[in-house]
Amino acid sequence: MDKVTEWCIRNIWGRDNFGWRYIPSQGRSGGLILIWDDITLNVEDELIGEHSISIKFSNRFDNFNWVFTNGYSPNEVTGRLNFWKELDKVKAWWQGAWCIAADFNAIRDETERNKPGGNKRNRKMLNAFLNRNALLDLPLAGGNFTWSDMKEDPLLCRLDRFLISTEWETKYPRVTQMLRTRTISDHNPILLNANGISRGKCLNWPTLLNIMIEGKKVKENYVLKISVAE
């Protein structure tokens, strides 16, 4: 696989004010790219695994600390189990506000798949993870499914999602998760819109936190961008 370079990241981001981390893909899947606005977000710490990138941020404008995790769950059993162990390590590392965006390669129930079937063990692991960590699974506006096998009679599933802790929701109470139109990838982009930094924010500070799972690949890596817009 070609190496992802800073030049490549700058072209994705479109300007110079960014920080980034990435995990190379293994074959044609599993790569992760995380890019953020380093004018408004300061990196305090990080935890990088084989299948996930977790960054502890502090907002420069209000010093709010939170962790963002970008992850990918492999389809093979060993990799999948390691993925869940990595996320549990993140929870042990940080007990505060947490936002996760991942291709979990699992659905929560039959409504997240347009045809019968699916791996019940994967479903059980996803639901157990949400329950033991008290995470919120936000409704998905704009559609029901995030992935297609791209066939004439396609299999559609909701494999990708944002999960947030109650502390994160308290900070961003008007948060929404929205499906965007698929372009090249078999995954739809998803936008997490916090729609306001906090109830008590100063109006001079940025007013919109966006986190986008891009529906495209860059050198076989899925891209996730965190930006704050005025």
pLDDT at 24: 84
Query: What's the confidence (pLDDT) of residue 193?
Result: 86
pLDDT at 181: 83
Using the predicted structure, report yes or no on whether residue 200 has a pLDDT greater than 50: no
* Residue ranges per structural domain of the chain: 6-193
Per the structure block, which two tokens stand in for 221?
A: 């890596």
End-to-end CA distance of the chain: 37
> How does pLDDT run across 1-56, given as a tens digit for each residue?
457 888 888 888 888 889 999 888 776 566 888 999 888 899 999 999 999 999 99
Does 6-193 carry CATH code 3.60.10.10?
A: yes
| Nearest CA among 43, 47, 44, 19 for reference residue 33 | 19
* Residue matched to tokens 């499914």: 145
User: How far is the C-alpha of 97 from the C-alpha of 170, rounded, in Å?
Assistant: 9
- 146 pLDDT above the threshold of 60: yes
pLDDT number for residue 174: 86
* Mean pLDDT score across all residues of the chain: 84
Instruction: Please give the share of the chain, as a percent, with pLDDT higher than 90.
Output: 53
Q: What is the pTM of this model?
A: 0.87
Residue 211 pLDDT > 90? no
The size of the chain, in residues, is 230
